[in-house]
């Protein structure tokens, strides 16, 4: 198992073997590609674009896919994923970062906001013309966008997902079987304020490993507010290292946060003894490697 990062700063950090950079954000900000890194592209969440043109938002009988719509429980503002002009904007951005020397592209938020979206006239008409039912049409719409994106990526190609192993297709149009044929790996974000309660991380990881037909990386939030939270995070990573994951990625704000985690693990002899005593061999390798650097 590799240890890696998801970060907002465009630089790799020593001791981390997979480095993912957020290059297009949910708030609409877009950045130049980060060289030699996996660049993570938010596709259809764009608060800025929707502020400038509210008609871009995905819609339903209960209103638009916006955070301020309390009839939906959404944490981002979603553009309708069949909007051809917005699709072109995303695909052109993916093309532009692939002219740089990047490791690859991870797609994020490339799907429908939830089951009742999108009922804009274009989506309703596209569904009718397809002859498919609502669920199958939505999955086909998402899968064909991913195919378009993949054709513009020269390196490693991966997708994130809403971490629902059971209802992904019905709710979001995410068809894991079809997507597995296109990606090098799946990136499962399991974000939390802390991992002092962590059974659900292990549970969802095992579910995803069972259903996804490609390698899996799991992302955990890497903010370390205090020693208790740092300890809980590092123990959770150790437990995950017993499963056959390609990697665990820690979401950090910047490179210094990542170094803090490594330093904390290296200096914590109690934690390192605990790893040895319980034979967490992959995690021991990771921390031993950190000890050479930090």
Report the interface residues with Zn ion, using CB under 5 A.
80, 118, 120, 123
What's the closest the beta carbon of residue 86 comes to Zn ion, in angstroms?
10
Q: Which residues contact 7 (CB under 8 A, 6 or more apart)?
A: 13, 19, 20, 21, 22, 251, 252, 253, 254, 255, 258
Nearer to Zn ion, 34 or 65 (CB): 65
What's the closest the beta carbon of residue 54 comes to Zn ion, in angstroms?
13
Nearer to Zn ion, 59 or 236 (CB): 59
What's the closest the beta carbon of residue 67 comes to Zn ion, in angstroms?
18
Nearer to Zn ion, 55 or 206 (CB): 55
Nearer to Zn ion, 23 or 59 (CB): 59
What's the closest the beta carbon of residue 122 comes to Zn ion, in angstroms?
5
| Spatial contact of 287 and 252, defined as CB atoms under 8 Å apart | no
What's the closest the beta carbon of residue 168 comes to Zn ion, in angstroms?
19
Nearer to Zn ion, 40 or 116 (CB): 116
Nearer to Zn ion, 123 or 212 (CB): 123
What's the closest the beta carbon of residue 126 comes to Zn ion, in angstroms?
8
Nearer to Zn ion, 43 or 245 (CB): 43
What's the closest the beta carbon of residue 121 comes to Zn ion, in angstroms?
8
């Amino acid at each position: 198992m590799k240890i890696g990062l998801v970060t907002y700063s465009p630089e790799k950090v020593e001791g981390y073997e997979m480095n993912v950079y957020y290059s297009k954000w949910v708030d609409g900000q877009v950045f130049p590609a980060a060289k030699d890194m996996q660049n993570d592209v938010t596709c259809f969440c764009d608060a800025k674009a929707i502020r400038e043109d509210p008609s871009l938002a995905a819609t339903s009988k209960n209103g638009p896919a916006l955070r301020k719509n309390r009839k939906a429980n959404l944490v981002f503002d979603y553009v309708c994923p069949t909007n051809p002009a917005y699709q072109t904007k995303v695909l052109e951005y993916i093309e532009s970062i692939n002219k740089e020397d990047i490791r690859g592209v991870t797609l994020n938020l490339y799907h429908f906001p939830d089951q009742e979206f999108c009922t804009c006239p274009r989506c309703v008409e596209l569904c009718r013309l397809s002859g498919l039912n609502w669920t199958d049409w939505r999955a086909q719409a998402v899968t064909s966008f991913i195919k378009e994106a993949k054709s513009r990526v020269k390196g490693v190609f991966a997708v994130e997902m809403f971490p629902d192993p059971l209802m992904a297709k019905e709710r979001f149009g995410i068809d894991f079987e079809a997507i597995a044929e296109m990606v090098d790996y799946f990136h499962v974000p399991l974000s939390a304020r802390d991992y002092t309660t962590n059974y659900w991380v292990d549970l969802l990881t095992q579910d995803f490993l069972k259903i996804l037909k490609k390698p899996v990386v799991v992302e955990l939030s890497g903010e370390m507010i205090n020693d208790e939270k740092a300890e809980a995070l590092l123990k959770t990573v150790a437990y995950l290292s017993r499963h056959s994951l390609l990697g665990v990625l820690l979401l950090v704000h910047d490179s210094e946060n990542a170094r803090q985690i490594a330093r904390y693990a290296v200096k914590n002899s109690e934690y390192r003894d605990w790893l040895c005593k319980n034979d967490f061999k992959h995690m021991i390798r990771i921390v031993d490697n950190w000890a050479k650097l930090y």
